[in-house]
């Protein structure tokens, strides 16, 4: 029966997407960086309505079909939502326990002016891996490094490029990253399988970027390290800095290496960090709660962990929001799944998929089309979350029909979507980072070497076929 049903042409199928683009442009113009707080979600739901109206009015679809498709999509990301909540808990406990401040402290000790750019990239990578957030990394330690670099005489584009390259490297491979979780869940790939497979393209891209930053740093004459010392002093004043705290990320790494299920790994890591907080940072827990260690411990999981410090930078860094801070992201993902379900039920995704299939002639064109699609949606939808969902939804069946593993798709999505979002001036990521670093997107774009190289590396690795396998029929 489905073979006789009417399907919209690719042009008609793109109408809900173009409507969504228009709504997102208006939303971002009205709300700015606060668009993800609700405006983008409403835009997605309105686009869902447009899609359903078209399908029911012109193509004989029933509302029940839309309900089933939407319910199915949301069911598929149920585990991802739970993981995101646990990630929120980790962000709070890792910060309050002093794990992240300790990593920053020891990382800053290795900064040398001649290697400032490369070191900046590495520090931002470490912080982003541990926090799972490129935005948090850039808005905190990135701001400090921006000031240090400018004082040392580096061009703002080079500094911002090093910061963003490192932050998005960490965001991309961190199990705490919401985009990493989303890319894995959208394609049906186990989280740690997805991360391990990404290393094949991510590590070479980062090595090339570090080489470029190292050469550029050696060619620049610098001599001022005063601001570094000030940040390190502020860290020591506010937190108990000790190598013992490094046991938390080490233990987390061991669990990941032993392939412990992601939910167990992340929750165990959050609990372990909390135990270390009780040992090394009891004053911080007491301050969070306004009195009482138990209340402070619970709030580090789900609530505001704001702590006053002598440094505005550190005050912003430690102000995590736990599980509650993930709710906007979860809300956005659910609404995106509604839109994706409506596009699927209305036959729109099938029509768009057929359009892409025409250009696919083999493994290289398949991966290249996926990368191009991700960049296209980053440009047109102005949001990386939506781009991930749309790209995954369109290509999931194509990869499966061509018998390629889901991890190849999830990796390509990350290479083509996550890291390129910050390169688009009107994308929520590009707009946010340009505002935070006080540097226009077009100024830092040529220096974001990791972000530029990653999609090209994805296509190159696919072209040589390294660890690209096809499943049995």
Rounded CA-CA distance 216/457 in Å is 22
CA angle 402, 403, 406 (to 5 degrees): 110
What integer pLDDT is reported at residue 211 of this predicted model? 96
Q: pTM for this structure?
A: 0.71
Q: For residue 310, what are the contacts with CB-CB under 8 A and spacing of at least 6?
A: 234, 237, 238
Could you tell me how far CA 390 lies from the centroid of its own chain? Answer: 16
Query: What does the DSSP assignment read for 431-443?
Result: HHHHHHHT--HHH
Q: For residue 254, what are the contacts with CB-CB under 8 A and spacing of at least 6?
A: none
Beta strands in 286-373 (DSSP E): none
Rounded CA-CA distance 366/343 in Å is 22
Rounded CA-CA distance 211/209 in Å is 5
Rounded CA-CA distance 203/53 in Å is 46
User: Is there a contact between 287 and 309 (Cβ–Cβ < 8 Å)?
Assistant: no
pLDDT 10s digits, 89-130 = 887 888 888 887 887 777 667 677 788 899 999 989 988 887
Query: What are the angstrom distances between the C-alpha of 156 and each of 206, 282, 358, 448?
Result: 20, 39, 43, 12
Looking from the CA of 31 toward its CB, the CA atoms found within 13 Å total 18
State which residues of the chain have pLDDT below 70: 1-4, 33, 107-108, 110, 140, 151, 221-228, 231, 309-314, 316-318, 380-382, 472-473
CA end-to-end span of the chain, whole Å?
Answer: 25
Looking from the CA of 42 toward its CB, the CA atoms found within 13 Å total 11
Look at residues 73, 82, 34, 35 and name the one whose alpha carbon lies nearest to residue 51: 73
Backbone angles phi, psi at 261, to 5 degrees: -50, 140
DSSP 93: H
The pair of structure tokens assigned to 314 is 């550190």
Rounded CA-CA distance 152/330 in Å is 41
Q: For residue 287, what are the contacts with CB-CB under 8 A and spacing of at least 6?
A: 296, 307, 308
156-173 vs 191-218: helix crossing angle, rounded to 10: 160
The pair of structure tokens assigned to 275 is 């135990």
Look at residues 437, 448, 452 and name the one whose alpha carbon lies nearest to residue 149: 437
SS3 annotation, 227-277? HHHHHHHHHHHHCCCCHHHHHHHHHHHHHHHCCCCHHHHHHHHHHHHHHHH
Rounded CA-CA distance 25/47 in Å is 13
Using alpha carbons only, how large is the chain's radius of gyration in Å?
A: 22
Rounded CA-CA distance 297/274 in Å is 7
User: Is there a contact between 80 and 182 (Cβ–Cβ < 8 Å)?
Assistant: yes
What integer pLDDT is reported at residue 1 of this predicted model? 41
């Amino acid at each position: 029966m489905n073979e006789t049903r009417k399907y919209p042409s690719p042009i008609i199928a793109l109408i809900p997407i173009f409507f969504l683009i228009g709504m997102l442009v208006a939303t971002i113009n009205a709300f700015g960086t606060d668009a993800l707080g609700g405006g983008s979600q409403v835009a997605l739901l309105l686009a869902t309505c447009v899609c359903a109206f078209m399908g029911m009015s012109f193509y004989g679809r029933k509302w029940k079909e839309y309900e089933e498709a939407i319910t199915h999509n949301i069911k598929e990301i149920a585990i991802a939502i739970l993981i995101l909540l646990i990630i929120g808990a980790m962000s709070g406990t890792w910060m309050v326990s002093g794990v992240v401040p300790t990593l920053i402290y020891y990382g800053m000790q290795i900064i040398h002016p001649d290697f400032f750019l490369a070191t900046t990239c590495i520090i931002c990578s470490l912080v982003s891996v541990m926090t799972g957030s490129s935005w948090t990394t850039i808005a905190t330690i990135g701001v400090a490094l921006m000031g240090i670099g400018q004082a040392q005489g580096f061009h703002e584009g080079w500094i911002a490029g090093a910061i963003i390259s490192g932050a998005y490297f960490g965001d991309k491979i961190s199990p705490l990253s919401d985009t990493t979780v989303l890319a894995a869940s959208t394609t049906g790939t186990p989280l740690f399988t997805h991360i391990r497979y990404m290393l094949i393209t991510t590590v070479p891209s980062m090595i090339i970027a570090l080489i470029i930053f190292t050469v550029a740093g050696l060619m620049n004459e610098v001599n001022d390290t005063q601001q570094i010392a000030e940040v390190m002093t502020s860290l020591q004043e506010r937190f108990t800095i000790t190598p013992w705290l490094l046991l938390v990320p080490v233990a987390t790494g061991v669990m990941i290496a032993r392939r412990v299920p992601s939910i167990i790994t992340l929750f165990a890591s959050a609990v372990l960090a909390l135990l270390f907080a009780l040992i090394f940072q009891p004053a911080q827990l007491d301050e969070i709660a306004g009195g009482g260690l138990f209340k402070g411990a619970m709030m580090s999981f789900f609530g505001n962990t704001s702590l006053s410090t002598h440094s505005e930078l550190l005050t912003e860094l430690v102000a995590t929001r736990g599980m509650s801070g993930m709710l906007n992201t979860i809300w956005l993902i659910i609404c995106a799944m509604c839109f994706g379900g409506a596009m699927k039920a209305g036959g729109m995704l099938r029509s768009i998929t057929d359009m892409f299939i025409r250009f696919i002639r083999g493994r290289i064109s398949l991966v290249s089309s996926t990368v191009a699609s991700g960049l296209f949606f980053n440009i047109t939808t102005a949001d990386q979350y939506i781009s991930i969902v749309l790209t995954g939804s369109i290509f999931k069946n194509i990869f499966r029909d061509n018998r390629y593993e889901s991890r190849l798709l999830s990796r390509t999505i990350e290479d083509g979507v996550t890291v390129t979002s910050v390169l688009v001036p009107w994308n929520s990521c590009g707009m946010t980072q340009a505002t935070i670093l006080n540097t226009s997107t077009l100024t830092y774009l040529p220096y974001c070497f990791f972000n530029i190289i990653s999609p090209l590396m994805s296509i190159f690795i696919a072209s040589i076929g390294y660890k690209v396998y096809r499943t049995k029929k």
